[in-house]
Structures are given as structure tokens and as C-alpha cells.
Chain A
Amino acid sequence: MTGWRGLFRLAWRRDRVMIGVCLVLVWLLSYYSAAAMPTLYSSTSELVAANEAGNASTGVVAMYGHVYDTMSVGGVGANKLAMIDFLVLAFLVIAVVRRHTRGEEESGRFELLGATPVGRLAPLGAAVLLAVLTSVVSGVVTIPALVAGSFPVAGSILFGLAQVGVGLAFTGLTAIAVQVSSSYRACGAWIFGALGASFVVRMIGDVSWDRPARVLSWFSPLGWAQQVRYYDGDRPWPLVIPVVFFAVTLGIAGWLQGRRDLGAGLLPDRVGRPHGRIGTPLGLAWRLQRPAFIGWLVMYVLMGVVFGSIIDTIGGLMSGPAADLLTKLGGVGGFNDIYLTLVASMGTLAVAAYGVSAVMRIRSEESEGHLESVLATPVTRGRFLASHLVVAYVGSVVLMASIGLAMAASHRSGSSGFWREALPALAHLPAAWVMIALAAGAAAWLPRFDWLGWALLGGVVAVGELGAIMGLPDWVLKISPFAHTPKVPVEAMSWPPEIILTAITVALLAVAYVGYRRRGMPVA
């Protein structure tokens, strides 16, 4: 462990902003969520009704867990908050441990440090120490934030300690993953896979809370934390599990560290294909973007299923007066329509981000030096540009279609018609297309300012979400293409804005093409 102090200071110096920002966000979120609870439910009966509605919805239980005591002050709200806090902390400690071990080795930077008197276990020790401190500080400071927000003290202490436990468990798991995996990227796949698995395992366990399969909740670090039942029975003993788990995993990781080479894992890099099938620029673009696209697709299908299955219970979550108002406005059917419209517009904003990131691949291929080899073949610039545009545009349609279809398919009872609920997801696509085309234009004409694509999208999102609250003039709000697409099914379908936005997209892409053909390459 010689030299761990220096490595720890280096790790802290590099990560303090990331850790600080994440923790402050967690604390603010915890405080405001806890503070909002008393204003949401004015009476115990409303609280019980809300908790029962949550328990009745498979989607809510699957995402956030089951509420055992429907009188629980925290209830569904605390479960939601807990899941977000836990996941943020898990991502944070995974990033910290992975970065300062395999990340440093793979970048070659560790060779500089390794030549100084630094012990074999020092890098792992320093990274784990930083992750443990992050977990402890995150959990312990969450306690006063929750209490200040109105939650009971005993439950808040358990909540905070459960959060520490999640951090410890994933620190230990990551410490093993960095020993075993063949590369930094493979390590990410292992550990995020483990995080996903622990979410899914507890999801199945929680959904089966009244059946024998509930035992599955005990096979997941996220499940251990939930089983502390903060505000919901308050039982401290499961807090021991992550501590023991951390000690065991760390011991294994330390033992493994002594048995592997610098920069290599215990599992060898898998041997790949000696021959490839890629033969077109589109084939290459798809191959490069496939993993990210599949991630988006899985997420969109899952979101569609969850949103579809909770449509009818959302109405039940609302307190009396609001529900009355909604019924006056158009009944439960009216509420469902608002919900569908909301999912479609939010989903399309996210899809615009997918499209911009897909288009930006033309820039990263260029700056990473891959483009030269491709353009030295008979592939023209136009074909190269088009290949990534196809991935962006076709991908955007597939993603929105998948969320629409999944949502309509999982909303069976009380559905107002399959296609009526599936198709609105596509309504805002032309607005997203304009944003993607703007990003392509920036990449083509202003390669050094290619972040403009992201900046424009960020501006549009900010204006769309906050513009009305900030009291911006109408014409500013109207700049966003998302302000023009019809909000089906709340509003009737209207074709002119869709056609005009599509025409603008085509024109912008033509401009991008002209710019892309005439500029020098590669720009770093």
C-alpha cells in the first residue's frame, strides 16, 4: 500500500468536482422531495390511497419497490427518491473505482506513477478509499436533508445508512470487476451489467412481494437497501449485509490484484473474427453505432411498457380536487390523452438527443483519425455523411415507434384504441429531425464548433420547459420546432407544420451536404 496517500490526493484532485456536484444534487433532491410530501397529501386517507394505488401498479412496484405499510409517511415518494439516490451513488462509485484503476493503466498514465515507489495495492486502495468516503458522506448528509424536509428521524437515519450500504456494495463489486475484465471498456460492461442485473433481480422480487419469488429481493444490493424499510417498518438489521459483502469483495479483489499483470485482466481479451462482413459506409456506421442504438431501443421499449402499464393508476395517484378538475376537463380519457401527449413530447426530445449524438459520430470519426482511411477509398464524402444520417434518422423513427407500440400494447384495459394510443408518439418527430439536421450543419460547416448542435438542442429544451415560467415573449417560445408540432391526441392531427418542418430538415441537410463537400479534412 506504499504511496496510497499520494494516489488518493491525485484521485480526489481529479474527481472532486464530479463527486461534489453529484452529492449536492442528491442532497437537494432528497430535501425537496421530503419537503414536498406534506403538501401533496393533506390527510392520512389520501396518503393511504396514494400508497395503495402505487402498490396496485406493477410498473410502480417494478421501478421503485413495494410499500409494506400503507400508512407510511414516506411511502411511494420515499421509494422513488431512494431508487434515484441509490442509482446516482452506484454510478458515482463505479466511475471512481474504474477510473483510478484500469482507466489509469490503460491510458498509460499509471506507468508514470508505477515507476515511482508505489505499492501493488496502492492504486486500488486509493480508489476504494475515495469511493467509500463518497458513499459515507453521501449517506450521512442525506439524513439531515430528509429530516429538514419533514421525514421522521429514525426512518431518515436508516435511509441514509442504506444509501451508504449501496455505495459500499458497488465499490466492492467494481473492485473485483477491474481485476477480472480484459479492458477498461469490458470492465464497464461487466459492472453496469451487474448493476442492471441487481435492479432486475430486485424488480422481480418486489413485484412478487406476496409470492415465494420475493426471496429474489435478497440477492441484490439495491434489494438489501430497500429491505431496511425506512419509514415502512424501520428494521436496521439488513444494513449488516452490504458491510459484510464489501469486506468479502474487497478481500477477493486484493487477492486477485496480486495475480494479474498491469493493464491486463484475469480474463483474456476475447479473440475476434479474422474476417469482417462490413462492406459499405452504412455497414460501418451501423456497426459503430449499434451498441448505443440497442441500448436506446431497450430503454424505449421498457419505458413504453412501464408507462403503458401505469396509465390508469396515474389518475388514482392524484388527490381529490385535481382529479375532479381533470374529470371536468374531459374525464379519465382526457387525462390519459394528456399523459400520452406528454410521453410523446418528452420521448421525442430525448430522441433528438439520440439523433444529435449519432450525427456527431461523423465528427468523432474525423477527429479520431478514422475518416482518412475511409475517404481514401472510392467512398465519397456524401456517402459517408449519408451513412451516419441514416442511422440517426431511421433510428429516431424506430425509437419513437417502439415506445408508442410498447405503450399501446401494455395499456390494455381502458385503452382508447391501439393505434390511437400508439401513433401520437410519432407526431413530434419532424421537430427532432430539424434539430438533428442543425447538428449535421454545424458538423459540416463549423467543425470546430460542432458542439453547437448540442447547444441548440439544450437551448430548445430549456426554452420549451422553462420559457413559459420565465415569462419569455411568445416569439421566443415559437423558435423551437417543438412548439409547432400538434399535441396529439389532445389536439387534432395537423399536417402543415409536419410538412413544413420536414421540408426545413431536407433543406438544412442539403446545406450540410454542400458544406461537407467543400471543406478540408480532417479537422481535429
Chain B
Amino acid sequence: MTTVISTQGLTKSFGRTQALAGLDLSVEQGEVHGFLGPNGAGKTTTIRILLGLLKADGGTASLLGQDPWTDTETLHRRIAYVPGDVSLWPNLTGGEVIDMLGRLRGDLDPARQAALLERFELDPTKKCRSYSKGNRQKVALVAALASRAELFLLDEPTSGLDPLMEAAFSEVARELKTAGCTILLSSHILSEVEKLSDRISIIRAGVIVESATLDQMRAMHTTAVTAGVRGPVVGLDALPGVTGLVHEGNQVSFSVDADHLGAAITVLSAAGVDSLTSEPASLEQLFLSQYESGVR
């Protein structure tokens, strides 16, 4: 596998605020990489550095093997981008904007464009000023997804879209992945990243705090278990890795980390189990636990 995006120790400050504090990001070819973080964590700054809009203060960044600051022109032929805050020219129509961006990139494909307009149910004859937020987002999405780029940098691509259109976007994203494209999907919407991403990097305060596949990430975190038991449960509180134990009548609930899940189940089954539900940590919990650990 080749690495498509690679940054080492990337730093960037705006005046006294430090946006990036040594960011190490690595995205492999052909993967959908979730780039997850709260507002103001540095997601957009990272993407702008990758696009050559901003120059990093320190560290290195490489994109498709090239330098994003100096090789912008050749690089941008292979990249498509959806900005986080889509702002369009009020007196151009959506169709005019999509055509223009396609021509500027040099890979205008009318057939693919028409198909995407259909899938996203976008009317290209309206002036951009009369589009709602969701429709502006669709214009940017159609313009980017219609391209023949190898790498897609999507900054919160589904913000403002309704659930149907979100589904349409996920479908197109999967098709692009099947075709071998790489997608960097920045978002704070966890469910969308969870559905699409092969790997996830969590960014907080300008550094990547965790980067792994969803399974690996879950293994590092606790599973929530709830069980209905017949007899008394003995020894669960003494088991390492078990937290938040609550015993109410014949209902037991607790959290346990991946290493001690087996032992906990053994203790439970000794008491006789009537019902059992176990939930792997949701991305939301991973995210919150990462965030809280940083606050502390």
C-alpha cells in the first residue's frame, strides 16, 4: 500500500492561537479515512495546508508524493475538494458553477455530472443566491464527485443534507472507494464516519490523539454489558477492567474492557444468565472519552 497523505509534526499558528501542534496524519491509498474532531480542533486548517492554501509553520506534509505548497498546480489535477463552509457566487446558477469548476480542473464530464445531479436531486438552473444551505452543499458535492480525481478531500460533506441525500452521498463515496479512490472525510458527525470509514483519526487541539481502524479502536475501549441473572453474582467487582457496576434486583450492568470481557462473562454465567446484551463502545463514546481525557 502506498501512503497518499502523510504529515509529520505539522504545526500552524494564527497569531497567538495554535491551530496545529505537531499533527501526524497518514492516509493509505484506497481507503476512506475518517478525520474526526470537535469544532476548532484543526480539521479545516489541516485540509487547507494539504491544499496549499496555508503554509505550515513547521513539520512536513506530502500529498500523492508531492509537496502541497510548491506543487499545487500538478497536484490539484488529481484532487477534488468540498469546502467546509460552501459559499457560491450569488449571481451564477448552480449548473454554471459546476461546469466552471469542472473546466478549471480540466476534467469536465457532462454525463457523470448529469447522473450526479439526478442522484442528488439538484436543480442546476437556479441562481446560487436562492439555494438553501443543503442545496449549496449539493452543488459543491456534485462539482467534486463528478471529477476524475484520485484523492477527495471532503470537509464535512454532508452538513445540511437531509437523511436521503446523506444516503446518496454514502453510496457515491462507496463507489469511489471501489474504483480505487482515496477519501479523507472530515466530520464531527460520528455516525457518518462510522458507516463509511476504514480507518479513523481523531484530532483534538491540533494533534492526532488516536488513529486506528474502528475495530482496533473498540478493542481499546470498554463494552457495555447488561444481563438478567437468576442467582447472586459473585466476584464481578473484584475483576480488573470492570467499571460502573450496578446491581438492581436481578439486573446487572457494567462496562468492561476487551481483555476482561471473557472473564466477566464466565462470572455471569456462573450465576445463570436469563438475558444478555452487550454493546461495543460507540464511536460517540470513543470520541467523548478521548475528549474528556484531554480536558482532565
Contacts and interface: CB of A to CB of B under 8 A. Distances in A.
Please determine whether chains A and B interact with each other in the same assembly: yes
Interface of A: 183, 185, 269, 271-281, 283-284, 287-288, 368-370, 372-380, 518, 520-522
Interface string B62-98: 0000000000111011011101011111111101111
Interface stretch (B1-9, B22-30, B121-129, B258-266): B121-129
Nearest to A378: B76
18 contacts: A183-B129, A185-B91, A273-B95, A274-B95, A278-B96, A369-B83, A370-B88, A370-B89, A374-B101, A375-B52, A376-B153, A377-B104, A377-B105, A378-B104, A378-B106, A380-B73, A520-B55, A522-B53
A272 B101 CA distance: 17
A271 B53 CA distance: 34
Contact of B96 (A271, A276, A373, A521): A276
Q: Which 9 A-B pairs have the closest CB atoms?
A: A276-B96, A369-B87, A279-B103, A272-B93, A376-B81, A377-B104, A274-B95, A276-B99, A278-B100
B51 interface: yes
Contact of A287 (B53, B76, B92, B95): B92
B203 interface: no
B81 A373 contact: yes
Nearest to B78: A378
A521 B95 contact: no
Given A288-B89, A378-B104, A273 B125 contact: yes
A520 B48 CA distance: 9
B165 to A, nearest CB: 20
B87 A368 contact: yes
A280 B104 contact: yes
B104 A276 contact: no
Contacts of B48: 372, 520-521
The B contact surface, by secondary structure, is mixed
Place the interface of chain B in its size category. Answer: 35 or more
Given A370-B89, A377-B104, A273 B83 contact: no
B130 interface: yes
Contacts of A278: 92, 96, 99-100, 103
B140 interface: yes
Interface string B181-225: 000000000000000000000000000000000000000000000
B270 interface: no
B109 to A, nearest CB: 13
Contacts of A276: 92-93, 95-100
B51 A373 contact: no
B76 A273 contact: no
B53 A275 contact: no
